[in-house]
Structure formats: structure tokens, C-alpha cells
Homo-oligomer: A and B are copies of this chain.
Amino acid sequence: MAPERLSEFDLIEHYFAPLAGPAGLGLRDDAALLTIPADHELVTTVDAIVAGVHFLPDDPPTTIGWKALGVNVSDLAAKGAAPLGFLLTLALPAQTEAGWLADFADGLGRAAALWHCPLVGGDTVTMPGPLTLSITAFGVVPRGEMVRRAGARPGDILAVTGTIGDAALGLPLAAGQETPWSGALSASERAYLIDRYRRPRPRIGLAGLLRAHASAAMDVSDGLLGDAAKLLAVSGVGATIEAQSVPLSDAARHVLAAHPPSLERVLTGGDDYEILCTIPAGKWGAFAAGAVEHGIAVAPIGRVTGEGTLDIMGPQGPLSFARLSYTHFSQESA
């Protein structure tokens, strides 16, 4: 059954109504109705992903919905917000298969359940072009406690969660591209990196600690260095980052051992969906201890300075890169 035979009503009933939370009114009204708890504010963000630009057209459909929701929930987590729900815009080529839709909805539903972020509404349209998804995610924070990008102060510790660069290394593997380093990896390492590219794990467990301790935060989507530069610029400060302090997976370490120039891809490639934050030095101990309790790795990678520049230090001195991040409207290969 191809979707040109399915009405929008059928699509919603078969695939999406099972994912809906109460705020979605059964997906049978024109709008969703969200109640914000007393003394809280609404945090909202939107990110779109396009086949061939942000994911590979032959990525497993179970991972595509997962990623589309994950990149948005990651923004909520970085702002210290708890997920409340999401709206889905799905622009589907007419030849999309029913099996694809079923798998897509399955992956999306599992991610939504995992992150307590139910579907509350959306729109489905015909796309005479590549499959395109846009998700608007909603979260709540106690009033006045949203963590901004602007807020880093000289002396703060710059830190990131998890490991950096895995997704950027996973992309060429997922695309089946030749690399000078993939021979250095085991099959399970390759699978790990590809999964990091396809299925971000937003750090929602860190939201409360960020509200309590962070002076600024954002998620790392476009590349660690470029995103750090954005946070610092809007805060009116600079920083020094120690490249050897950036936390890496074993797989990424094996890549760098085989091919040291891949450090640029690791530090600027993006799709990490880890959290970059600045923590005043006096709060670092409590923040790090809390992260351990939540089972989330956090690593200090540098210090905020008053200089207004971002300096990257390697073992032999300052490093420089052709560019700091993946940017839209330039070459798409990061």
C-alpha cells in the first residue's frame, strides 16, 4: 500500500495516533493544548532534517525518526528543560512505502517513550523532493531558570558530556565512503560509530544539574569548536581548549592513532548531541559529583578567558583548523 492510496487521515490513524499524548487531543483537532505547570515557562525549539543533507536516504527508517526527535530533545536538555511533547511535520515523497512508514513510526515512538516526549500534533504533506522532517519540541523549566548560551564568565570551566567526534566519524562509514582509517577499526567499533551518527542520545538526565550549576550551555550539533565559538561570542568572552582533554571513545582514539589529521573531523564535524557547558570553578565539584550520580560522563576541556578569542592547544602548541564547524550553505560534507 503506497501512501498515495493513504489519506492523511489514514496515515494519522495507522501510524501516529498510537504515539500521541493527551495534549494531542487524539490528533483529531486543529491544534494541541499544553498545560504549563505553575511557576514554569515553556522552552521550545525546532530542527529540520532533509534526506541527503542531514541523514542518508538509505538510513534505516527506525533511526530517522529517532534522530529527528533526538536533535530537538538535545536542545531542550541543554537549556535545562524537561521534555513535554513534540509536533511533527512530515513531508513525504509520493512513492514512500507503507513498510517504511511503519518502521519510521516505530523508531520515533520508541525514542518518544524513552525521553517521555509524546507526539502532540503535526502536519503531513506531499513532497515532490527529498523526504523532509521538521520537529518542534516543547519542554518546561522552573521560571527564570532556563540555561542560556550567553552567561559564560572568565574563569569558568568549559566542559562536555560523553565523547566527541563519534558521529562525524560514523557518517562516512554509514555512507560507505573510503577513509584512510576505517581499516584500523573492528567491526563492533564501526557499528558503534555508525550508531552514534544515526541515534543521538540527548542528555536529558543532566538538565537539573545544568540549571543548578551552569553559567551557559548549548548542545553540540555543528561541531565542538564551532559551537564553542558561538557560545563564547554571545557571552562576550573567549576560551582556551586543550585538545588532548576532549573526551574520545576508544573507536575515535583508534582512528586518530591510524590517521592523526582526523582530529579536525573529530573536533569540528558535529552531530555529537552532547552538551557543552560552562561551570563556575567554585561549582565544579558539585556539578561533577552530580553527573557521576546520574551516570553521565562530564569532562573539563578548557577555561573561559576574557580575551575574546578561542585558542585550541595541542601537545606541541596552538592548533588551527580551516574551519570550526559544519555550516549550512557550504559544502555539506563535514
A contact set with B: CB distance below 8 Å: 3-8, 11, 25, 28-36, 38, 41-50, 52-54, 75-76, 78-79, 81, 87-89, 91, 94, 120-130, 132, 134, 136, 138-139, 141, 143, 146, 148-150, 218-219, 234, 327-330, 332
Partner of A149, one of B30, B123, B129, B138: B30
Q: Are B5 and A329 in contact (CB under 8 A)?
A: yes
Residues from chain B with Cβ under 8 Å of A43 in the complex: 31-34
B134 touches A123 (CB 8 A): yes
- Lowest 7 A-B CB distances belong to which pairs? A129-B129, A31-B45, A136-B136, A34-B42, A89-B134, A134-B134, A30-B75
Shortest Cβ distance from A46 into B: residue: B87
Min Cβ gap A278→B in Å is 14
CB of B31 within 8 A of CB of A75, answer: yes
CB distance from A296 to the nearest CB of B (A): 19
On whether the beta carbons of A328 and B121 are closer than 8 Å, the reply is no
Are B45 and A121 in contact (CB-based, < 8 A)? Answer: yes
Given contacts A25-B148, A136-B87, A149-B28, contact A46 B122 (CB under 8 A): yes
Which residues of chain B have C-beta atoms less than 8 A from A149's C-beta?
28-30
Give the residues in chain B near A94, CB-CB below 8 Å.
Answer: 329
**Interface contact B121-A44, CB-CB below 8 Å:** yes
Partner of A127, one of B6, B120, B132, B327: B132
Q: Which of A30, A327, A330 has the most CB of B within 10 A?
A: A30
CB pair B50–A44 under 8 Å, yes or no, is no
The residues of B that contact A45 with a CB separation of less than 8 Å are 30-32, 87, 121
Q: Which of A81, A141, A149 has the most CB of B within 10 A?
A: A149
Q: Would you call A91 and B32 a contact (CB within 8 A)?
A: no
Nearest-neighbor residue (CB-CB) of A78 within chain B: B30
A128 to B50, CA, bound (A): 8
**Cβ contacts under 8 Å, A5 to chain B:** 329
Chain B residues near A121 (CB-CB < 8 A): 44-46
A44: which of B4, B32, B130, B146 is its contact (CB, 8 Å)? Answer: B32
Q: Tell me the bound Cα distance from A138 to B46 in angstroms.
A: 13
Chain B residues in 8 Å Cβ range of A81? 31
What residue of chain B has the Cβ atom nearest to residue A330's Cβ? B4
| 8 chain-A/chain-B pairs, Cβ below 8 angstroms | A8-B329, A32-B44, A35-B41, A42-B42, A46-B87, A50-B91, A50-B125, A129-B132
A34 to B148, CA, bound (A): 14
**Beta-carbon contact of B6 and A219 below 8 Å:** no
Q: A134-B89, A148-B25, A149-B28 are in contact. Are A125 and B41 (CB under 8 A)?
A: no
Determine if A138 and B44 form an interchain contact, defined as CB atoms under 8 angstroms apart.
Answer: yes
Tell me, rounded to whole Å, the shortest Cβ–Cβ distance linking A161 to chain B.
15
Give the interface centre of A32, A122, A125 by most chain B CB atoms within 10 Å.
A125
Is A123 within 8 A of B30, CB to CB?
no
**B128 touching A52, Cβ below 8 Å:** yes
Given contacts A8-B329, A136-B136, contact A123 B53 (CB under 8 A): no
